[in-house]
Amino acid sequence: MRVRFTGCARMMCQAAFLLLLALGFTTATQAAVMNITAEYKGSITNPKTDFVNTTPPAGYCANSTLCGAGVFGVAFPAGGTKILTATAAREPRKSFMVSFDSRPRDVTVTNERGQSFIVKFRAVGMSFLVSRVSNEAVGIREQFVQSPLYPFGSCNGNGYGGYNSNVYSTHWTSQTTTGMAVCYEPNKPELAPLTVSYSQLALQYSLTLDAPYTWPPGVYTGTGHYSFGANKDIDFGDDYTDTAGTGTGIDINFTLDVTHELFVRFPGATQGPVVADLNPENSWSNWPDRMPPYLKKELIFDFGTSGPLKLSVHCSGHYDATTQSCGVRDQNDPAGPVLPFDVFMTNARLRDSAGQALIMKKLPVTDSGALPELVSVTAGNVGLTPARLNFRTKAGVTDRMQRGHTYTGNLTVVFDANL
Burial letters 302-333, b for 16+ CB under 10 A, else e: ebbbbbbbbbbbbbbebbbeebebbbbbbeee
- 324: DSSP letter: T
Closest CA to 254 of 377, 371, 362, 119: 119
Are 228 and 27 in contact by the 8 Å Cβ rule? The answer is no
Choice among 15-29, 113-127, 269-283 with the minimum mean pLDDT: 15-29
Closest CA to 324 of 286, 274, 371: 371
Choice among 3-17, 138-152, 200-214 with the minimum mean pLDDT: 3-17
Are 419 and 374 in contact by the 8 Å Cβ rule? The answer is yes
- pLDDT tens sequence across 18-42: 323 222 333 334 678 989 888 888 8
- pLDDT tens sequence across 314-369: 998 799 999 999 999 999 998 899 999 999 999 998 999 899 999 999 999 999 99
At 379, the pLDDT band (50, 70, 90 cuts) reads low
Q: CA-CA distance, 365 to 326, in Å (whole number)? A: 7
Q: CA-CA distance, 160 to 115, in Å (whole number)? A: 44
Are 152 and 138 in contact by the 8 Å Cβ rule? The answer is no
Q: Which residues, 6+ apart, have CB-to-CB distance to 304 below 8 Å? A: 44, 45, 261, 262, 263, 381, 382, 383, 384, 385
Q: Where are the domains of the chain?
A: 31-259, 262-416
User: Percent of the chain, pLDDT > 70?
Assistant: 88
Helices (H) and strands (E) in the chain — how many of each? 1, 29
Can you give the pLDDT at residue 254? 84
Can you give the pLDDT at residue 63? 78
According to CATH, the topology of domain 262-416 is Immunoglobulin-like (2.60.40)
Residue 374 has pLDDT above 80, yes or no: yes
Can you give the pLDDT at residue 377? 84
User: Percent of the chain, pLDDT > 90?
Assistant: 47
